[in-house]
Amino acid sequence: MLSTTLIHVCPHCQGQRLYKNGHTVRGAQRAKCKDCQRTFTLAPRGPRHSPALKKQVLSAYQDRMSLRGIHRTFGVCYQTVMKWLGEKSRTASRLRGHVAALPGGRRA
């Protein structure tokens, strides 16, 4: 028989005095640290879509591919694409604000 033992530690303070503290909406075990009183998910899932796929999808959207077409081709839901577009536009507006703040009122 082959068995493994997994020791969880607090991601915030590396403390080992943890106790179970319910589940996430998706059913993953949550834990609370007795040392720093912070809560966290024991084995969090990573992002569902890879950064490479995200880049590919955003590129397809910029090439005027429809959201339904993106869903058919890449299997990414239109709401996810809209969320990614929101993130991208927020980053772009932050960059525009940075450019506008150059000394002397110059634009880059």
Contacts with Zn ion, residue ranges (CB under 5 A): 10, 12-13, 15, 33, 35-36
Cα separation, 38 vs 71, in Å, equals 38
Could you tell me where the DSSP H helices lie in the chain? 51-62, 67-74, 78-100
Closest CB to Zn ion among residues 18, 76? 18
Residue closer to Zn ion by CB (options 36, 92) is: 36
Instruction: Tokens for 76, please give them.
Output: 């990414």
Q: Residue 47 CB, nearest distance to Zn ion (Å)?
A: 24
Question: Least distance from C-beta 14 to Zn ion, angstroms?
Answer: 7
DSSP class of residue 43? S
